[in-house]
Amino acid sequence: MKQSTNERIGQLEFLFNPRSIAFVGATETVNKWGFIVLNNILAGGYEGEVFPVNPHRETILGIPVYPSVKDIPRPVDLAIFTVPAEKVLPSLKECAEKGVKVALVISAGFKETGEEGARMEQELVKVAKEADMILVGPNCQGISHPSAMLYAWMPIFFFPPAGRVGLVSQSGNILNILITRIMEGRYGVSKAVSSGNEADLKAEEFIEYFAEDPETDVVLAYLEGMRDGRRFMEIARRVTAKKPLVVLKGGRTPSGAGAARSHTGAMAVSSELFRAACRQAGIILTHTMDDACVIASSFLYRPLPRGRRVGIVTGGGGLGVIASDLCTDMGLEVVRLSPKTLEELAKLLPPWWVPGNPVDLVAGLDMAVIKPVVEILARSGEVDAVLFLWIGSPRRKDKPEGLQKGRGVDMARVWEFMDRHLMQFAGEMVQLMGETGVPVYIASSLDQRRGVENLYGQERSRDPLIFSSVEDACLAIGAAAEYSSYLRRENRL
């Protein structure tokens, strides 16, 4: 290896922004990866040059095909492989000679199948290193970089929008689920990588890349194991000094670790040790895909809380109770508000309001009250975050029976009215957060599963997530307070 680590990581630019791609294994057989991945690249809108390689075809999808890599008349930044394992090496050697920068080996049949596969895998790495070529995979699902319209991966016709979360996963199917969950919050992806067998590049190298990537605000990683735990944690510390790093760890339990061993060959790490190391490195450790995605998305477009004190404003008493329990579970403090603040609030609320935190709006849905109530808390200096629980309106789309018989009137338009209210409110909260530095978390458990989906067009812009449950919101505040407390401990905030 002649390159430094930094050079290798810098070379990842050619993976995500290649000017040209050689596709070794291109085919027109529609159920083969050699077609599906190539088609994803073309259909996704990638605008660089694409050179399919296949000795038996002249064109594929209307594009000229080359018999081998060495026949490609132009420079190649990225070579993608979907050919059978034993056919990768000869083409990789041609790539080495040609000066290809990155090899993305999607093909399976290497270390995961036994000794012979492991030997072949080592040969690939040797050829790549000698040529200063970096190698992703093998046995991986591929990568995507939505802002470059590059979807060089296996999932059929899956084109997530560009966003601010960078993902790396040691499992392809988990990667897809994580991205899907992030999209449900109306967010997108900066770059996504399935790291596969990690013969050369490992998860931590992608994580390190994301730390410097200007498109990435939050890093999310699914990990089953790591070759060098100490090195991983060193890198993690550098990352968390700059942006949040959320890790979903698979193989925490004996049976999970057993499954991980046959999946990625990951060595078991003591769950307790790993947890402690994460805490020391400022990593936000999660156990479920939902939690990981909610937490990662919650960091976007929102300041960090400066402490653990939460003020809760609720449209319904029961929601306030559940939220208080969950905040307490998360190590947050549902603080006692000062008499002065309670007095200010009392002026806005009905006479039967019971002063306290949560601030129960006593079923008041009037935005003219909600906004100043939240503002009083945000400006009080007594809370580090405000949680607002919108009651919303439950709904069922089909036409009720009575309307068909002319009994009663159609009130479905109330929903639109309430949705507009909530949207406007969310916009005002963006401004309030900018002014006060106090984050506001809005949860709307009812309007529609996974946020108020119908309120947004294609891609949500620079608004903070509206949580689709009070549970998710409390989880997010807990994680943000944890990360913020880490940064303060390290004097980085």
Of residues 252 through 311, those in contact with a copy of itself by CB under 8 A are: 252-256, 258-260, 262-264, 287-290
- Under the criterion CB under 8 A, does residue 170 sit at the interface with a copy of itself? yes
Q: Applying CB under 8 A, does 408 fall inside the site for a copy of itself? A: yes
In angstroms, give the least distance from the CB of 175 to a copy of itself. Answer: 8
Least distance from a copy of itself to the Cβ atom of residue 480, Å: 19
Q: How far is the CB of 242 from a copy of itself (least distance, A)?
A: 27
Both structure tokens of 187: 């967010």
Of these, 55, 214, 406, 434, which contacts a copy of itself (CB under 8 A)? 406
From candidates 29, 56, 352, 462, binder to a copy of itself by CB under 8 A: 352
Residue 263, Cα to own-chain centre: how many angstroms?
Answer: 22
d(CA 231, CA 415): 52
Q: Report if residue 52 touches a copy of itself, rule: CB under 8 A.
A: no
Q: Counting Cβ atoms within 10 Å, is residue 290 exposed (0-12), middle (13-18) or buried (19+)?
A: middle
Nearer CB in complex with a copy of itself: 38/96: 38
Site for a copy of itself in 324-343 (CB under 8 A): 324-329, 333-334
Taken in order 40, 44, 45, 47, the sign of the CA dihedral is: negative
Interface stretch with a copy of itself, choices 5-13, 40-48, 213-221, 483-491 (CB under 8 A): 40-48
Preceding omega of 138 cis (within 30 degrees of 0): yes
* Angle subtended at Cα 391 by Cα 390 and Cα 394, rounded to the nearest 5 degrees: 130
Of 40 and 240, nearer to a copy of itself (C-beta) is 40
Record the tokens describing residue 209, joined without a space.
Answer: 């890349």
Using CB under 8 A as the criterion, what x/- string covers residues 415-434 for binding a copy of itself?
Answer: x-------------------
Pick the closer one to a copy of itself by CB: 318 or 427: 318
Q: Which of 335, 221, 233 lies closest to 274 in space, CA to CA?
A: 233
- At closest approach, how far in Å is the CB of 424 from a copy of itself? 19
322 is a contact residue toward a copy of itself (CB under 8 A): yes
CA–CA gap between residue 54 and residue 10 (Å, rounded): 30
Q: Among residues 319, 373, 440, 465, which is the contact residue for a copy of itself, using CB under 8 A?
A: 319
- Residue 355-374 contact track with a copy of itself, rule CB under 8 A, x = bound: -x-x-x--------------
Contact range with a copy of itself by CB under 8 A, out of 15-23, 89-97, 393-401, 420-428: 393-401
Question: CB 162 → a copy of itself: shortest distance, Å?
Answer: 12
Choose, by CB under 8 A, the member of 14, 16, 23, 46 that binds a copy of itself: 46
Instruction: Write the single-letter amino acid at 74.
Output: R
Residue 344 neighbours by CB distance under 10 Å: 17
How is 218-240 classified by DSSP, letter by letter? EEEEEES--S-HHHHHHHHHHHH
Between residues 11 and 469, which has the closer beta carbon with respect to a copy of itself?
Answer: 469
Size of the site for a copy of itself (CB under 8 A): 108
Q: Is 172 in the site for a copy of itself (CB under 8 A)?
A: yes
By CB under 8 A, is residue 445 in contact with a copy of itself? yes
CA distances from 465 to 290, 292, 439, 460 (A): 14, 14, 12, 9
**Rounded distance, CA 199 to CA 180, Å?**
27
- Edge-to-edge strand order for the sheet containing 134-136? 49-53, 20-24, 78-81, 102-105, 134-136
Which residue among 370, 446, 455, 477 contacts a copy of itself (CB under 8 A)? Answer: 446
318 touches a copy of itself (CB under 8 A): yes
Residues numbered 199 to 238 that lie near a copy of itself (CB under 8 A) are: 222, 224
| Contacts of residue 363, Cβ cutoff 8 Å, sequence gap at least 6 | 315, 316, 391
- Category of 137 on φ-ψ map: left (φ > 0), alpha (ψ -120 to 50) or beta: left
Q: Of these, 160, 163, 166, 464, which contacts a copy of itself (CB under 8 A)?
A: 160
Q: Given candidates 10, 48, 161, 307, which one binds a copy of itself under the rule CB under 8 A?
A: 161
Please report how close the Cβ of residue 402 comes to a copy of itself at its closest, in angstroms.
4
DSSP summary character for residue 386: E
> Given the complex with a copy of itself, which of 101 and 111 has the nearer CB atom?
111
Which of 1, 346, 412, 493: binder of a copy of itself (CB under 8 A)? 412
Cα(82)–Cα(24) distance, integer angstroms: 6
160: Cα within 13 Å, side-chain hemisphere: 30
Interaction residues for a copy of itself, span 126-155 (CB under 8 A): 149, 155
Min. distance of Cβ 44 from a copy of itself in angstroms?
5
Phi/psi of residue 113, each to 5°? -105, -5
Q: Provide the minimum distance between the beta carbon of 212 and a copy of itself in the complex, in angstroms, as a whole number.
A: 27
20-24/78-81 β-pairing: parallel
Cβ atoms within 10 Å, residue 405: 8
Rounded least distance, CB 30 to a copy of itself, Å: 8
What residue type is 395 in one-letter code?
A: R
By CB under 8 A, residue 320 contacts a copy of itself: yes
Q: Which of 61, 162, 241, 342 binds a copy of itself (CB under 8 A)?
A: 61
Quick one: tokens of 57? 């075809």
| Environment class of 460 (CB within 10 Å of its CB; exposed 0-12, middle 13-18, buried 19+) | buried
Q: Which is nearer to a copy of itself, 138 or 243 (CB)?
A: 138
Residue type, 340: K
